[in-house]
Amino acid sequence: MDSVGPGWGSSVRVGPADVPFSSFAAKGETTMSPTDTVLMTPPTTDSAHRVAALNRNDKPFHVVLAQQFDRNTIEQLCQLADMIRSIGGSRQGTQFLRTMLSHRRAMLYFIQPSTRTFLSFTASCQIVGMPYNEVRDRSTSSEVKGESEDDTIRTFSQYFDLIIMRHPAEGFAEHVANMLNESTRAIPVINAGSGKDQHPTQALLDIYTLMRSFGEESGGESRAPAEPGAVGEPRTSVRAISGSPNGTRAIQPGARFHRNLFAGKTIAFVGDLKRGRTVRSLTYLLCRYPGVRLVFVSPPELRIGEDILDYVSRHGIEFEISDDVRSQLGEFDAVYMTRMQDEWDLNGESKSIAYDRYAINYEMAREFKPNLVIMHPLPRRHELDPRLDALPQARYWQQVRNGMWMRAAIIASLFNVDTAIRDHYYAYYTY
């Protein structure tokens, strides 16, 4: 449940956060892509009611809003992702995981471009054995014959047990979840990106990456044994209780996730924060961690939304608004880079923004903290120099792979096979 309420303390607002937003809003920018045919407005009811409608028994039934995830749920998912990763490292483990959801089917309805999110969902369906089908282009569906999108989705719900959807309209995934709740076949909906608003599964894989990176002393991102099966790693079979499958000490998934690894850390978000949905969703999750400090670095025209800043304030999280990456680079423990989201431009307005100032390059690396964590949801453009890829601080390719394990964990949890996976892990992967 969303825990907004008294007792959260007050925020520190530094910088010109109250300055009115960009000229885009003044030009009447809508929440829609120019290609949209329907107008969906996000529900205006308060967050707790929205969250309650998407949850069952106090846990997510649909995955639509990052606000659905409390700290315990986040940490359970990270732990489960680590377990699936370990189990998935051997042939026997992979075969076990594939039995988990072989009796269910998923529909991937992706009518916005996607490489990583789409492919990681297909890979994660394969990990848990779930057959899937896809519609990625409306022109191949009966929508061209005039069928409404609601009817299209209700049709999916008759054939499949899960809908994973990416859609240009904010609020549409939530509308679908609420519509299916009222239908005769209420199946879960996963929001794989809703307009400029939210991308909750990206936020979960992002926080998983941050936790693995910050928790390195207890076996995290860089010190963890390479996953068996990776090139150059021996492929070994599952051994019984006395050893981990690849013959090295197993990562103890619980160890690092139950501490507040974010207390005292400064996390910077850089780029187009006005239209980037990943930053919005990750900010909601980070508000579960008291003591974290957030710096929102963007051109003045592309500042993070006031709704997000209000949420951060209500949760007593310290934050700062900045338009300069360089001056504070040496203070950041993590920097989350993003590209210009110019597909949302109405009249090419992004072209007049000096985005080069919101880039990091190899020459700046001398200013990095040794343990800096550089992230990017990808795709990248010039804001993230490929020469940085070789540095230990670059975590964005691990971030991509983490997405596959995290999404497998999310699907497993939605269908309540998480307990079977945990039992299997504790039976065969710990000692």
Which residue, judged by CB position, is nearest to ligand NCD in the bound state? 377
Does residue 164 interact with ligand NCD by CB under 6 A? Answer: no
- Give the one residue of 67, 76, 117, 281 binding ligand NCD; rule: CB under 6 A: 117
Token pair for 78: 């990270």
What is the nearest approach in angstroms of ligand NCD to the Cβ of residue 193?
5
> Distance (Å, rounded) from C-alpha 377 to C-alpha 397?
9
What is the nearest approach in angstroms of ligand NCD to the Cβ of residue 219?
26
Token pair for 376: 């990017």
Does residue 59 interact with ligand NCD by CB under 6 A? Answer: no
**Residue 171 or 193 with smaller CB distance to ligand NCD:** 193
> Distance (Å, rounded) from C-alpha 231 to C-alpha 224?
16
Total residues contacting ligand NCD by CB under 6 A comes to: 11
> Distance (Å, rounded) from C-alpha 108 to C-alpha 97?
21
Does residue 407 interact with ligand NCD by CB under 6 A? Answer: no
Taking the CA atoms of residue 271, residue 275, residue 277 and residue 279 in that order, the dihedral angle to the nearest 10 degrees is 30
What is the nearest approach in angstroms of ligand NCD to the Cβ of residue 91?
30
What is the nearest approach in angstroms of ligand NCD to the Cβ of residue 199?
5
What is the 3 state secondary structure string of 324-354?
Answer: CCHHHHHHCCEEEECCCCHHHCCCCHHHHCC
What is the nearest approach in angstroms of ligand NCD to the Cβ of residue 31?
14
Does residue 339 interact with ligand NCD by CB under 6 A? Answer: yes
The kind and range of the H/E element at 282 are helix 277-286
**Residue 69 or 118 with smaller CB distance to ligand NCD:** 118
What is the nearest approach in angstroms of ligand NCD to the Cβ of residue 76?
23
Report which of 90, 54, 128, 88 is spatially closest to residue 407, judged by C-alpha positions. 128
- Give the one residue of 91, 98, 116, 422 binding ligand NCD; rule: CB under 6 A: 116
**Residue 219 or 377 with smaller CB distance to ligand NCD:** 377
What is the nearest approach in angstroms of ligand NCD to the Cβ of residue 243?
36
Kindly give the residue spans of alpha helices, DSSP state H, lying in 360-417. Answer: 396-414
What is the nearest approach in angstroms of ligand NCD to the Cβ of residue 296?
16
**Residue 90 or 202 with smaller CB distance to ligand NCD:** 202
- Give the one residue of 79, 278, 313, 402 binding ligand NCD; rule: CB under 6 A: 278
Does residue 277 interact with ligand NCD by CB under 6 A? Answer: yes
Instruction: Write the burial class of residue 243 (CB in 10 Å: 0-12 exposed, 13-18 middle, 19+ buried).
Output: middle
**Residue 113 or 247 with smaller CB distance to ligand NCD:** 113
Chain residues 344-383 in contact with ligand NCD, contact rule CB under 6 A:
377-378
Does residue 202 interact with ligand NCD by CB under 6 A? Answer: yes
φ/ψ of residue 28, rounded to 5: 80, 35
Instruction: In the chain, count H helices and then E strands.
Output: 13, 12
> Distance (Å, rounded) from C-alpha 109 to C-alpha 91?
31
Q: What are the Cα distances from residue 219, in Å, to 74, 224, 251, 267?
A: 18, 5, 6, 21
What is the nearest approach in angstroms of ligand NCD to the Cβ of residue 234?
32
**Residue 199 or 293 with smaller CB distance to ligand NCD:** 199
What is the nearest approach in angstroms of ligand NCD to the Cβ of residue 400?
8
> Distance (Å, rounded) from C-alpha 155 to C-alpha 183?
11
- Name residues whose C-beta falls within 8 Å of residue 370's C-beta, 6 or more positions apart in sequence: 393
> In the chain, what are the helix, strand and coil shares in percent, each to the nearest 5?
45, 15, 45
Does residue 104 interact with ligand NCD by CB under 6 A? Answer: no
- Give the one residue of 42, 193, 220, 253 binding ligand NCD; rule: CB under 6 A: 193
User: What is the per-residue binding string for ligand NCD in 248-267, x denoting contact by CB under 6 A?
Assistant: --------------------
Token pair for 403: 């997405």
What is the nearest approach in angstroms of ligand NCD to the Cβ of residue 279?
9
> Distance (Å, rounded) from C-alpha 315 to C-alpha 389?
34
Residue linked to tokens 């230990």? 392
Give the neighbor-by-neighbor strand order of the sheet with 266-270: 13-14, 318-322, 293-297, 266-270, 334-337, 373-375
Does residue 244 interact with ligand NCD by CB under 6 A? Answer: no
**Residue 87 or 192 with smaller CB distance to ligand NCD:** 192
Does residue 199 interact with ligand NCD by CB under 6 A? Answer: yes
- Binding residues for ligand NCD, per CB under 6 A? 116-117, 193, 199, 202, 277-278, 338-339, 377-378
